[in-house]
Structure 1
Amino acid sequence: MSFEAYLNCFEDGEESYFPTSIVEDAFAPFITRRETEFSCWVVTYDDTSSADLYLNLDPGDASRCSGFTIARPPDNPRLHDALWKILRVTSSVVYCAGGCQPFVGRRETMPHLNSDMVEALGTPVVVSSGGEVKDWLERS
């Protein structure tokens, strides 16, 4: 897949933060390089399947992030499972530019989302597995 996907956390309609360790735990042991200058982690699943994660770190505390951009998300179940793990424990949404409807990992996230984003992208759906993450990303 050659597009970008975005994961962003919200609380009461505003950008919010969660521990960066949640991202690290979800993608370990596939993080093969960290480019601290760009807050970029390279995730490699095999010789032909990798992606760059550009983290949105809290400027005052890198132990917190508000989400990340996935550049060129591969069609890999380990990526889909990692996103699902993050969505189930944070108030985050995943969305893509284009036709992909945004999605969340739990219904409790819905009231926290930014209303302008929901109006522009559509009402998010709740996914319940990495397989459903894959299905929604394929719609991009």
Structure 2
Amino acid sequence: MNAILRAQNAYGLSNRSIRTARDTEYEAVARATQNLKSAADTNPLDMAKLARAVSDNRELWTLFAVQVADTDNPLPAQLRASIFYLAEFTNAHSSKVLSREASVDALIEINTAVMRGLRDAGPAK
């Protein structure tokens, strides 16, 4: 490897943007949302794929609930309460989806709204 290529590689690593917690959360919610959409769009419905997507989404929301329940969480109390409520709703609605009493649409809408909020909130503090 010549010196120019080594320099490009070294500087290339430092030019990558720094990933914030908000970026990580956005990507996790986006991935869960895409998996829900993909599972819902299979025809005929692939229950195993849907169950995995719903389970992964539920796990993500459980993680959010644990994080906002922490008294050291810096988010405002009202926002933390709202996120906790959404986690509870997501858990209950997920059960309905898995028992074929509801569609994934509400889960997708919630995730999409959260993604929009994460993008519109500006830089992380």
Q: What TM-score, normalized by structure 1, do the two folds share?
A: 0.27
Structure with the larger helix share:
2
Higher relative contact order (CA 8 A, sep 6+): 2
Q: What TM-score, normalized by structure 2, do the two folds share?
A: 0.29
Structure with the larger strand share:
1
Give the structure with higher Rg (CA). Answer: 2
